[in-house]
């Protein structure tokens, strides 16, 4: 692994997250929220590892702005801003919840307290299942529910979800231990006591990623596939990132071809099972003996 690249990605991700935390987003559109953060990543000399996620209220994750998205952030909203930065493919993944309804301030604190404890525990040899148990305990003790089917994950170069999951609940059965030389994102999500504590896939899909480069026999679709590959490889992308080269109707039509041919996967938004408010906190760390380097601190 390239520790220098991880540290640079982490420093930028952290700065972008903290600026997003301080900003007053009410009155902004989700397009502005996403594009401002992405522009800042690029100005600082890195690239987004995925489109900035700006997921409102009962949407837990995986919403990014559509081209010309005019959805406003309103008073009373709870907005998760999830930021990925990569330097040479080494990814820092971090998130903040901005809360414009004081009713949910404590729930945001619960997710952050759970993350702080998870980070404190994380070192070479820590069992992922122990982290999950700690996250669940803290969120439950503070009066909320963890989202049980969302989890943290190992990261590899150019791969955001690299195969190992760090649960947000106590789970029975086999687990793994954190190792040196591997990066992990830890991301507690919480909802209210009356929530389902699980998310399901919604209808909206606005984050995409290449899964196969096999030619489609449609020249226009193949050209789009090549453009996407040259820019983003297999990392996730948004249609608004391609509007410099394609008008939106044509882009949507060709993307649909690539989805049907299974060259591109469309990621659905993830919605709380009883449509209750969801909050999130996230850091990326590299374990060491006796502690870990939190690259997004
Ligand atoms: Mn994330
Ligand atoms: Mn993540």
Exposure string over 240-253, b if 16+ CB within 10 A, otherwise e: bbbeeebeeeebee
Instruction: Encode pLDDT of 12-71 as tens digits.
Output: 999 999 999 999 999 999 999 999 999 999 999 999 999 999 999 999 999 999 999 999
- Ligand in closest contact with the CA of 62: 1
Pairing mode, strands 278-280 and 189-192: antiparallel
Q: Which of 38, 82, 112, 222 is catalytic?
A: 82
Residue 179's nearest CA partner among 190, 168, 164, 161 is 164
70 is catalytic: no
Instruction: Encode pLDDT of 146-160 as tens digits.
Output: 999 999 999 999 999
CA of 118 to the centre of ligand 2 (A): 14
Structure tokens at 204: 């909206």
Domain 202-269, architecture per CATH? Orthogonal Bundle (1.10)
CA of 188 to the centre of ligand 2 (A): 10
93 is catalytic: yes
Instruction: Encode pLDDT of 239-264 as tens digits.
Output: 999 999 999 999 999 999 999 999 99
Q: Which of 117, 161, 182, 265 is catalytic?
A: 161
pLDDT of 175 above 90? no
For residue 68, the model assigns a pLDDT of: 96
Q: Can you give the residue ranges of every domain in the chain?
A: 3-201+275-294, 202-269
CA of 220 to the centre of ligand 1 (A): 32
Instruction: Encode pLDDT of 206-224 as tens digits.
Output: 999 999 999 999 999 999 9
Average confidence (pLDDT) over 131-147:
98
Phi, psi of 143 (to 5 degrees): 100, 15
Question: Residue written as tokens 């930028």?
Answer: 12
Distance, CA of 149 to CA of 146 (rounded, Å): 9
Structure tokens at 29: 């559109």
Contact, 153 vs 278, CB < 8 A? no
Q: Residue 220's CB: how many other CB atoms inside 10 A?
A: 13
187 is catalytic: yes
153 is catalytic: yes
For residue 172, the model assigns a pLDDT of: 83
For residue 122, the model assigns a pLDDT of: 98
Confidence bin at 174 (pLDDT 50/70/90): confident
Average confidence (pLDDT) over 266-282:
99
- Ligand in closest contact with the CA of 159: 2
82 is catalytic: yes
Cβ-based neighbours of 5, under 8 Å, separated by 6 or more: 87, 88, 89, 90
CATH annotation of 3-201+275-294: 3.90.230.10
200 is catalytic: no
CA of 193 to the centre of ligand 1 (A): 24
Question: 221 to each of 81, 91, 231, 266, how far by Cα in Å?
Answer: 31, 29, 16, 16
In DSSP terms, 186 is beta-bridged to 283
Instruction: State which residues have CB under 5 angstroms from ligand 1, the bound ion.
Output: 82, 93, 95, 282
Dump the DSSP string for 15-37.
HHHHHHHHS--TT-BHHHHHHHH
Average pLDDT over all residues of the chain: 97
Confidence bin at 173 (pLDDT 50/70/90): confident
- Ligand in closest contact with the CA of 160: 2
Structure tokens at 257: 């071809």
For residue 115, the model assigns a pLDDT of: 98
Phi, psi of 61 (to 5 degrees): -165, 170
CA of 85 to the centre of ligand 1 (A): 10
- Ligand in closest contact with the CA of 17: 1
Please give the DSSP secondary-structure letter assigned to residue 238. -
Global confidence as pTM: 0.98
pLDDT of 277 above 80? yes
pLDDT of 142 above 80? yes
């Amino acid at each position: 692994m390239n520790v220098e690249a991880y540290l640079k990605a982490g420093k930028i991700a952290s700065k972008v997250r903290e600026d997003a935390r301080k900003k007053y987003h009410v009155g902004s559109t989700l397009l502005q929220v996403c594009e401002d953060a992405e522009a800042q990543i690029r100005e600082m000399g890195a690239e987004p590892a995925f489109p900035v996620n700006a997921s409102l209220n009962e949407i837990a994750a995986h919403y990014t702005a559509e081209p010309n998205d005019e959805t406003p952030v309103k008073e009373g909203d709870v907005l998760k801003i999830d930021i990925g930065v990569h330097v040479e493919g080494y990814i820092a993944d971090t998130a903040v919840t901005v809360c414009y309804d004081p009713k949910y301030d404590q729930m945001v604190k619960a997710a952050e307290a759970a993350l702080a404890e998870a980070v404190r525990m994380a070192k070479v040899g820590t069992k992922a299942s122990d982290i999950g148990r700690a996250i669940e305990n803290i969120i439950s003790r503070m009066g909320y529910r963890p989202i049980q089917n969302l989890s943290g994950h190992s990261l590899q170069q150019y791969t955001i979800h690299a195969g190992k999951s760090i649960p947000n609940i106590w789970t029975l059965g086999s687990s793994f231990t954190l190792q040196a030389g591997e990066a992990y994102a830890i991301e507690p999500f919480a909802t209210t006591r009356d929530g389902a504590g699980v998310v399901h896939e919604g209808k909206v899909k606005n984050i995409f990623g290449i899964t196969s480069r096999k030619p489609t026999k449609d020249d226009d679709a193949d050209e789009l596939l090549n453009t996407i590959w040259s820019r983003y490889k297999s990392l996730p992308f948004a249609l608004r990132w391609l509007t410099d080269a394609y008008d939106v109707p044509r882009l949507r039509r060709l993307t649909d071809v690539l989805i049907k041919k299974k060259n591109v996967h469309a990621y659905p938004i993830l919605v709380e099972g009883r449509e209750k408010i969801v909050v999130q906190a996230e850091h990326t760390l590299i374990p060491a003996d006796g502690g870990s380097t939190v690259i997004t601190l």
